[in-house]
Structure formats: C-alpha cells, structure tokens
Structure 1
Amino acid sequence: MTLATESSRGLVTAPHALAADVGARLLACGANAIEAAIAVSAALSVVYPHMTGLGGDAFWLISDGRESSVRGLAAAGQAGRAYHADIFRARGLSQIPFRGALSAMIVPGMLRGWEAAHSFSAATWGGTMGWSELLTPAYELAAGGFPLSGNQDRTLRHYLCALEGDVEFCAQYLPQGRLPVAGETFRQPALARTFGRLLDEGVGSFYSGDLAEEMVTSLQAKGSLLQLADLESCLAEWVTPLQLPFAGGTVFNLPPPSQGMASLMIAGIMERLGLADADPLGAELVHGAVAATRRVFPWRDRVVHDPRRASNHSLNDLLFGEFLDQQADEIRSEMVGVANRWQSALGDTTWFAVADGAGRVVSVIQSLYHEFGSGVVAGSSGVLWNNRGCAFTLEPKDPRGLLPGMRPFHTLNPALFGRDGAIQMAYGSMGGDGQPQTQAALLFRHLCHGLDPATAVDAPRWLLGRTWGDPVTALRLESRYEQRVRERLERWGHTLQVVPAYSDLMGHAGILRALPNGNWIGASDPRSDGGVAGPDSS
C-alpha cells in the first residue's frame, strides 16, 4: 500500500517516481507549480512513453490557490487539413484505424500547452525559469537512461504484435532488436537529441522550423497526410472550467472536447443518491456509481465534441441542480434499466499534480490515447505520434464525425476541489471510461467517507465499460472486494468480472490535499510506478 507523503514547500504526485522527483527538485530550486509541472510533463514523456509523449495532448487546470482563480488550458491538437471521411472510405475502411500512419492525423498539442502555461507563469506568477532549466531533466533521462518500468515492460509485451511494423518504433523501443525487461537501463538517444533541440531553440521549434519539417516529411513518407501548416496553426486554448457544487465546496473540471462534464455529473448524481453516507468499500457505493454512470455516458456522447460544432444540448442545463435531481429520482424509482448504451471510450493517459510552497496548484493529464499511440515514430526525432484521431467517426452528420481542423473527443479530464474560497485538493486518474468513475471513488472515499488520501487511492475499485479485446460492457471489480459485496451486486442484476487485486484496468490515480497547517499531503497509485515527492517531503 502506498503511504502518504507530506511537505510544507510543495508536493508532486505522478505515475512514475522519477518524474515526481524531477518536479520536487525544481520546487527546491524555486520553481512555481507551473514550472515544475512542465518539467514533470517532459519527464513523463521520457519515462512513461507507453502512456504519454511529445506527440500527444494535454489538459490543465491551474489555480493560485483561490477558487476564483481556477482556469483551464486545453492543449489539444486538431485533425490535419487534408483529412476527411472519404479518404478512409475510399480505402474500404468503415472506421479510422487504431495504428499506423493513417492514424497519425492529429497535431500534438502538448508543447503548445507548455508554451501557454510558461508565458502565464512568467506574466502572472513571476516565473523566471527558462526552457533549459525545465527540460534538462527530461533530456538527461532520455540520454543517460533510467530503469525501465514494469508497466512499460508489460504494456509493450502485450501490444508488440500491433506495433512492430514501424522501423523507427522498433529502433527506439526494441533496442538491439529485443524486448527490454523491467529494471534494465533504457535509453532513447533519438528523443534525447530532440530534447536537446528544444533546449536550444525553444519548444516552438516543434511546430515550425527544421525539426517540424523533418517530422512531417517522415510522417508523410510513411503515409500520414499531415502538413507543416497543420503544425504551424496549432494553438493551445485557455478555457473556462466547468463547476459543480459538491460536499459543501466546488468541483472543477474541463469543458468539451474533454469529458469533464461526465465526471461532474456522476459525482453530482451520486451525492443526490445519498452515497456520501455509504460504506466506502460496500456494494451500495458501486451500485449507485454504476447507475449514475449508465445514465451519464449517453449524455456525454451527445454533447462532448469540438465545441465549435453545434450541439442541441446545453452543458449548463446538464449540470443544473434540477436536472441532476431528476436523474437521481429516476434511478431511485428504477426507471433506469441496465440497457442504456454508450460509445465506450478507451485509451490510457497520465495524470499528475503539483502544488508549490505558495499554495498554487496545477492538475494535469496528458496522453497519446491508446498505449504507444499510433505506433509511428516521426523519423529520427524519437517522437511517438498519438492516435487520438481514431476517436472521430466517419459519419458526416455525427457531431464527432471527422472534419479537417476539428479536435476529437477526449477522455482527458483533470480535476480540482475547492471549499471556503481555497483550492483544497487536486486529483485525477487515467483510464478512458474509468476516469470519471475513479474520480468519483476518490471524491467520495476521501472527502465524504474520511479515508486518508493514500487509503482512498489504494482501496479496491470498480470499472463499468469495455476493455481491449473484450467487447462486453461488464462491471469489473478488483478481487479485494469481499465476497458479500460481489454477491449483493449480482443479486441486484450486475454481471461481474473479477480482475486482479491491483489491476491496471482501474487506472493510475493520485491525490494532492491541502492540510489546515498549510502543508500538502499526497498519494500515488500502487497500480502504477508512481511516487510522491517534495522539497522536504516525509
């Protein structure tokens, strides 16, 4: 079980301990929460390459510690201007492929997010650190190597058959033509060279100039239709976060194309069902969460898409108290059956959070979408490209239908909780459909049921949804749930699948929590390779 870590000068929780340590070292050198978060983000791109990388996207929530200051940053790229549905139909495809060059169709937005956050840090928080200070730790990890994580080892072995068709992918992730094993030193010299260029030229060189041209030329040679102009036009966007009253405070999350509204709706319905008083490890909490999830996900599928496309539903209406009251009432009266269907959202991500000594805090989530993204590395850059574009459909009237320049649906949604005017908690998880459900588990178990952060993160979890290779939308429970809990859920009509005690299917979650004495306490997930670290953590 993961132990909680406390610090008075700031704290980092991340799904890889080396990345958490990078953030802690930056905080010790005077970095603010945004600056340390950029360094953590870059480090995760090196040490957790199966989940995230320079070729992916990111979403941020940023606060100076006051609830009134929370702002969102959507660093999500768009589909290339040459991409439209007919390209795929002409090739006899009914959907966008998960892997290969045709799936490498979305411009990575993550580094544009670094740029926007860095500028905000300098202008508003007095940040002084440059790209050399922020990116050198990631460069050193890529060049010098690090012990390969167990999670990367397992993931690569599981998906190797779908990934080994790209020569540069094999050169980077199968050194000397073999599968590396957990614990051995893993180096990424091509990625290190790219980080060296970003150190020297600034992160804008990812989108214009020689590096950008080289990446695009390589992707085009492999069959991608991305153009240099697509990279040059990519920008991060500051957005107004969504809010929901909860537990005497406010939960913050992100608007579309993020699924943040689903996380808020599930939490709101569960609170109205009285689950704040439920057993944190009992059947009632799972049963109510599943009922709320079945009600919310079909709504999510109707409204979460690029907000530049018209919607027949208002997000504010869906988050309005009376609407959530109605959902809870219908669940109580058994008007909601188990047959509600939704489009399952797969994919894996990395969530992390940073708080600094001044109480400023960021909650960040970033991803390549599926494990190892498209499986396509952009030539000699070492940059593994995302496959986020396969979240589009090829149906012209579908609001998630592929159009040039549009952003796809994103599972990514970081969260914050505030009360009495102050941000008190950053939390989140990876895991597609599981993200909103795990966020609910953390909220209720910690804020409502009184479990400390480490116990709340460690506790057995549930997941309603599909997983890779299994088309059944089943309710999965970790095996640590007691037999009586399983029996009650089965009596209530749930089809259960029991998974290992600490299953990756349940995501890699974490919490940072402000304490009354001004310190922060945090926990990372024992299901990950994570850690919590601060300048004076104990």
Structure 2
Amino acid sequence: MRSSAYGFNGGFSAPHRAASLAGRDILAAGGSAVEAMVAAAATIAVAYPHMNGIGGDGFWIIHRPGQAPVAVSGCGRAAGLASVDWYAGQGITDALPARGPLAALTVPGTIAGWTEALKLCPKGNRLPLADLLAPAIALARDGVAVTENQASTTHEKLDGLRDVPGFADTFLHDGAVPKAGHRLVQAALGQTLAQLAEAGLDDYYRGDLAQTHAAFLESAGSPLRVDDFTRFAAGVAAPLTTQISAGRLFNSNPPTQGVSSLMILALFDRLGVTKADRFDHLHGLIEATKLAFIQRNAELGDPNYMAGPAQDWLDPAKLGVLAGQIDTAKARPWPEVAKPGDTIWMGAADKDGCVVSFIQSVFWEFGSGLVCPDTGVFFQNRGAGFSLTAGPNQLRPHARPFHTLNPALAHLDDGRVLAYGTMGGEGQPQTQAAIFSRYAMFGQDLQQAITAPRWLLGKTWGDATTSLKLEDRFDPTLVADLRAAGHEVEIIPAYSDLAGHAGGVAVWPDGQIEVAADPRSDGAALGF
C-alpha cells in the first residue's frame, strides 16, 4: 500500500493532478497555503468541471499558527425573486428543478470566498493574483485532457443535461460525450479568468462580469439579477468545534452539514472503541451517523431560520444522551432522507505552518448545466436543495440552502494539525469519520487511512439506493457480522467513486508535512 508523501517546505493534496501541481508551484514560489489554494481552486474548476466550477460555492477552514482557526463561507444566497410564490407562478409547487435556468437560483459564492481567504494570509499576500490564476488560464485556453471520471459521469447524466442552454456546446464533442483523453478547450472560461486576474475578483460581483452574467441569467429564465450579485459577500466566522479524546475538531457552520461530521466523531468517541476496521469500529460510526443525520434532516438549514445554534448540538451533555441511544450490537432501522452532491476537497500546508482545508462544488454533476456562452461559466444548482414547504430549509429570498459541503480541520493533542475532507454528498461526514478515526485515533498512516476500504450509508453522488454500501475489500467475516446485526449491506466495487475522493494534509510539531490523496480520484499528494 502506498504511504503518505512527506516534506518540510509545503504539501498539497487534490483530486486532480493539475490542481496539485498548481498549488505546489505557488508554494515553491514562496506563496502561502491560502494563495496556493486559490491557484488550485481556479485550476480544478477548469480540469474537473463535472465536480466544481467558478459558478459554484466554496468553504474554507484556515489554521494560522498562534491563532484560532477561521471559517470562510462562500455560500451563495437565493435570488431576491426566488420565493415559493414566484416558483408557483412558474408552475412549480412540489420540488425545485435540478437542471436548467430555474435551477440556477443562487449566486455563485466561491470567488467571494477566495477574496476573503486571501485577506487571511498570515504574512499578507506574497504573489500577484495574475500569478495565482495563470495555471488555470493556460489550461482553459490550451485544453485539458478529459478524465475517465468526467467522461463516464457525462455519459451517465447526459439525458438531463444535453438540452440545457450552453451545455452541449461546452462539454460535448460534435454532440457526443467526449472520450477520456479528449482535449477540452474552454477559451471563454480562460478569458473570464484572465479578466479576473486583471480587474480583480470583485469584478465577478460588481463589475463587467456581474453585468454579463445577470443579463444572461435573466434572458435564460433564471430569477437571478444583477442586484443579487452586487449585494453578495462571503462570510468569515469562528468554525463549529468540539473536543474529543484525540483533540479538538473544527468544521463549517450551517447551512453546511459540518455539525453532523463533528457529531459523528464525538458520539463514536464515547463508545470506547480501540481497534480499527473491526465490527465495533464500523458499526459504531454507522450508528453515530444515523443519529447525527436524523437531527440534521429535521433541523439544519439557513442559520437565520434554525430553532437554535448548531454549536448547541455539540453540548457534551446532549451528546452523552445521544450516545446512550446507540445499540452497540444491533443496527437502528434505516433509511432517512439522503442529501446528494458533487464536490472537490483540497488541502494545503506551507512552511510557515498555515494549513488550509477547502471544498468547492456545483452540487450535482455540472450543476444546473446552464453555461453562459460569453464567459464559459456554468452555474450551480445548489438552490435545488431548498424545500418548498415550511421549515429551516424553505426557499426564501436571499436565504442560504442546505449544503453537504464541510471542510474539516483538527488540532490533535500531540501537536499535529490535520486538514481532511472529501467529495460525496451524504458520504462526506462518513468518509471524514473513517479517515479521522483510522489516522488520529487508531494510529494508521494518513495514506493508509484514505486508501483503506470505505463504507457509505444511504444515497450519495451518482447513486439511488439507501443501503449500507461496503467496498469489496473488507474482511468477509466483518461483512457477515454487520449483516447479522441488521445492516442492509450492499457490496460495491473496490476503489469506487461512491466512496468519495478524499485527501488529507497534516503538519507535525517538528514542521514535517504529511500529505495523502485518494487512489479513487485523478489526484496527487505532493510534499517537498
């Protein structure tokens, strides 16, 4: 099994090699981990468009030595026109559409998140924005080789996307799904990134790009208008946090499901499990996941409309009561409602000890599928996550939808700082729990913790069943024990995309940087 990559000058993990290289090069040029992440975020938006883009949202957790971690939320808000009544006027009363102009109803927030994150570089910005965006600009203009993952995803989702304005012209080749290795040129997107490099990132919200996008979206039938772009800004706040036996955990605030990721590990920690990849390990985490998801599904949404702060869910007394509801021998009946989503996670660390956990997404594969021909930007369908019925996630003007996205970071008791995360919608908290418990609680190498077989309870990216999915590399005896305990087990292929594309970056007290990437992805872990 491949071991982690190591270095002392910098480390970067991404699910596409081009993004890892862009981040590594910025670190090698003296840039900070934040600057490296902006470069990689732009690059992976070009190289992995089925998973993310600059028409989507993004979230950060940033660790700076000697300071408390900070969370940056590039979570787009719904259009001012986007209300239950407005959609009823369009004949939509049951559920919001997942594709097309009416699905593009939230402002893309990720570039605003880049803006705020760059203000948080511990020693200030060291490199010009043009240098950060140069790799992405070149890749868009010269072309990127389509990955097998993108080709297969496009084929699987083509029926819902081929007729959405702009999609076929941008992501198909002569009307057909491009094969792996096809040169995908995105000249318009390259020009857009070049404009951002020259005019500044704010142009996306208050400049020529905002005007272009607003006019296109309105003409296509989206409720977004230029005022929605103008009024938007990313948020900066203290992240959610909880203490467990291995250290202090941090994750993103609502409307993301970061609180669920923290709850799962905090509940599992109370079970006293001591060995990895045995029945007690998997069963304990799966049952903790069920309790966390039940509360998430009932109460999580825009924090302005929740019954109380998510941090209260992490009260030790409340967690103790919940942990007491876990039967350590028998599975709780399932399923509950699942949350889909497409995403990329990336991590970075620089030689000064700044560590970044970052996630960027357009929700479903290629988001809404709606592509502006003048800019090459396609818009997320994150607004499809809103509900049209009463509750904390009900569609309201300028509200924030429920997000599966949640970058994770931890301060371990032995002095390590760990950034980790994954794509995978419903699977994100579960994969985070697998990686963290294996690495920080049971002493596995970071790469080993990511490469090891994983599980997934419920629906997720590209899948419709609600069973407990196990990669087929698990011990057959363990699989039999889980079935005997009442879990509805489904075996999925080894190294399956359903298990997510994970990564991790850890900085040790002596300055050593440990980096790992997922063999399920097209990525790379680079330490130098």
**TM range, smaller chain:** over 0.9
Residue-pair matches, total: 527
Is the 8 Å Cα contact of residues 8 and 519 (structure 1) preserved in structure 2? yes
Please tell me whether residue 87 in structure 1 is matched to residue 81 in structure 2: no
In structure 2, what is the Cα distance between the partners aligned to 1:25 and 1:417?
26
Is the 8 Å Cα contact of residues 140 and 189 (structure 2) preserved in structure 1? yes
SS of residue paired to 2:322: helix
Q: 2:401 aligns with which of 391, 398, 408?
A: 408
- Residue in 1 aligned with 2:38? 38
Deviation at 1:450, TM superposition (A): 1.3
SS of residue paired to 1:290: helix
In structure 1, what is the Cα distance between the partners aligned to 2:464 and 2:174?
36
In structure 2, what is the Cα distance between the partners aligned to 1:369 and 1:469?
12
Is the 8 Å Cα contact of residues 241 and 311 (structure 2) preserved in structure 1? no
SS of residue paired to 1:426: strand
Letter aligned with residue 269 of structure 2: E
- Residue in 2 aligned with 1:72? 71
- Residue in 1 aligned with 2:372? 378
- Residue in 1 aligned with 2:363? 369
In structure 1, what is the Cα distance between the partners aligned to 2:463 and 2:143?
35
Deviation at 1:521, TM superposition (A): 1.1
- Residue in 1 aligned with 2:386? 392
> TM-score under structure 2 normalisation?
0.96
Letter aligned with residue 386 of structure 1: Q
Is the 8 Å Cα contact of residues 515 and 525 (structure 2) preserved in structure 1? yes
SS of residue paired to 1:219: helix
Deviation at 1:471, TM superposition (A): 4.8
Deviation at 1:469, TM superposition (A): 7.3
Change in CA separation of 1:490 and 1:419 when aligned onto 2, cut-off 3 Å:
closer
In structure 2, what is the Cα distance between the partners aligned to 1:11 and 1:93?
48
5+ residue gaps in structure 2? Answer: none
- Residue in 2 aligned with 1:287? 283
Deviation at 1:35, TM superposition (A): 0.7
SS of residue paired to 1:176: coil
Is the 8 Å Cα contact of residues 72 and 235 (structure 2) preserved in structure 1? yes
SS of residue paired to 2:60: strand
Deviation at 1:3, TM superposition (A): 3.8
Matches within 5 A, 1:114-125: 114-121=114-121, 124-125=122-123
Please tell me whether residue 445 in structure 1 is matched to residue 476 in structure 2: no
Change in CA separation of 1:88 and 1:521 when aligned onto 2, cut-off 3 Å:
same
Deviation at 1:459, TM superposition (A): 0.4
Q: 434-443 or 175-184: which moved more?
A: 175-184
Is the 8 Å Cα contact of residues 99 and 164 (structure 2) preserved in structure 1? no
In structure 1, what is the Cα distance between the partners aligned to 2:155 and 2:204?
30
Letter aligned with residue 330 of structure 1: Q
In structure 2, what is the Cα distance between the partners aligned to 1:532 and 1:260?
24
Deviation at 1:517, TM superposition (A): 3.2
Deviation at 1:284, TM superposition (A): 2.2
Letter aligned with residue 418 of structure 1: H
Change in CA separation of 1:235 and 1:421 when aligned onto 2, cut-off 3 Å:
farther
Please tell me whether residue 54 in structure 1 is matched to residue 47 in structure 2: no
Deviation at 1:219, TM superposition (A): 1.6
Deviation at 1:417, TM superposition (A): 1.0
Identity in percent: 39
Deviation at 1:2, TM superposition (A): 4.5
- Residue in 2 aligned with 1:426? 419
- Residue in 2 aligned with 1:172? 170
SS of residue paired to 1:41: helix
Change in CA separation of 1:532 and 1:469 when aligned onto 2, cut-off 3 Å:
closer
Change in CA separation of 1:244 and 1:468 when aligned onto 2, cut-off 3 Å:
closer
Change in CA separation of 1:218 and 1:455 when aligned onto 2, cut-off 3 Å:
same
Deviation at 1:92, TM superposition (A): 4.3
Change in CA separation of 1:467 and 1:307 when aligned onto 2, cut-off 3 Å:
closer
Deviation at 1:179, TM superposition (A): 2.0
In structure 1, what is the Cα distance between the partners aligned to 2:27 and 2:311?
37
> TM-score under structure 1 normalisation?
0.94
SS of residue paired to 2:136: helix
Q: What's the C-alpha RMSD, in Å, of the aligned pairs?
A: 1.7
- Residue in 2 aligned with 1:323? 318
- Which string of whole-angstrom CA distances, capped at 9 and with x for unpartnered residues, describes residues 299-346 of structure 1? 1123321111241x4433321212212122221488x96336533110
In structure 1, what is the Cα distance between the partners aligned to 2:471 and 2:167?
33
Change in CA separation of 1:533 and 1:468 when aligned onto 2, cut-off 3 Å:
closer
- Which string of whole-angstrom CA distances, capped at 9 and with x for unpartnered residues, describes residues 95-125 of structure 1? 001111100000000010111112232xx42
Q: 2:153 aligns with which of 152, 155, 161?
A: 155
Letter aligned with residue 136 of structure 1: A
Change in CA separation of 1:154 and 1:303 when aligned onto 2, cut-off 3 Å:
same
SS of residue paired to 2:174: helix
- Residue in 2 aligned with 1:202? 200
In structure 2, what is the Cα distance between the partners aligned to 1:206 and 1:199?
11
Q: 1:484 aligns with which of 477, 482, 490?
A: 477
Is the 8 Å Cα contact of residues 295 and 340 (structure 1) preserved in structure 2? no
SS of residue paired to 2:515: strand
- Residue in 1 aligned with 2:517? 524
Change in CA separation of 1:8 and 1:201 when aligned onto 2, cut-off 3 Å:
same
**Would you identify which runs of 4 or more consecutive aligned residues in structure 1 move more than 4 Å?**
420-423, 468-471
Please tell me whether residue 454 in structure 1 is matched to residue 450 in structure 2: no
Is the 8 Å Cα contact of residues 15 and 531 (structure 1) preserved in structure 2? yes
Q: 1:354 aligns with which of 303, 328, 348?
A: 348
Is the 8 Å Cα contact of residues 411 and 417 (structure 2) preserved in structure 1? yes
Deviation at 1:246, TM superposition (A): 2.0
- Residue in 1 aligned with 2:191? 193
Change in CA separation of 1:58 and 1:469 when aligned onto 2, cut-off 3 Å:
closer
Letter aligned with residue 425 of structure 1: L
- Residue in 2 aligned with 1:302? 298
In structure 2, what is the Cα distance between the partners aligned to 1:35 and 1:398?
38
Q: 138-147 or 321-330: which moved more?
A: 321-330
Letter aligned with residue 301 of structure 2: H
Matches within 5 A, 1:91-102: 91-102=91-102
In structure 1, what is the Cα distance between the partners aligned to 2:231 and 2:336?
33
Is the 8 Å Cα contact of residues 62 and 362 (structure 1) preserved in structure 2? yes
Change in CA separation of 1:112 and 1:92 when aligned onto 2, cut-off 3 Å:
closer
In structure 2, what is the Cα distance between the partners aligned to 1:149 and 1:329?
46
In structure 1, what is the Cα distance between the partners aligned to 2:395 and 2:406?
22
